[in-house]
């Protein structure tokens, strides 16, 4: 029997979720650190403009929203990254993803 080993995931890319000219959320892609054979081993963290994680999207495009006082997240969409982020954040399909360098988001400017 092989024991499970924790995987170290690192932020790789990030996007602001913009609707009506305002940033209403952030999506951060996490992937396996220093592992070139880890294709497909990533997920997306979807956060509101205060950087509170509201849900996640897996490598297959399934979007899960975390529910208050519930153990399990609720499946809210399948599809593209934008569709999943909009479903988690409760936004219209008019929203857009705008890629940002990770250091810009780390500086706390997600709400601009």
Q: What tens digit of pLDDT does each residue of 41-65 get?
A: 789 999 998 989 999 999 899 999 9
Quick one: average pLDDT of 25-44?
A: 80
pLDDT tens track for 1-19: 777 777 778 899 999 999 9
Query: Which pTM does this prediction carry?
Result: 0.84
Confidence (pLDDT) at 23: 95
Domain segments of the chain: what residues?
10-106
Beta strands in 1-112 (DSSP E): 9-19, 22-32, 42-48, 53-58, 62-65, 74-78, 96-100
DSSP track, 81-111:
HHHHHHHHHT--TT-EEEEE-HHHHHTT-TT
């Amino acid at each position: 029997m092989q024991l499970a080993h924790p995987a170290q995931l690192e932020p790789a890319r990030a996007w602001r979720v913009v609707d009506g000219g305002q940033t209403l959320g952030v999506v951060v892609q996490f992937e396996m650190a220093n592992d070139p054979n880890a294709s497909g081993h990533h997920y997306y963290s979807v956060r509101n403009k205060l950087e509170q994680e509201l849900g996640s999207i897996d490598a297959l495009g399934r979007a899960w929203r975390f529910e208050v006082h519930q153990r399990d997240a609720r499946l809210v969409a399948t599809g593209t990254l934008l569709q999943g982020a909009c479903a988690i954040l409760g936004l219209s399909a008019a929203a857009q993803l705008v890629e940002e360098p990770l250091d810009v988001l780390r500086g706390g400017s997600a709400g601009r």
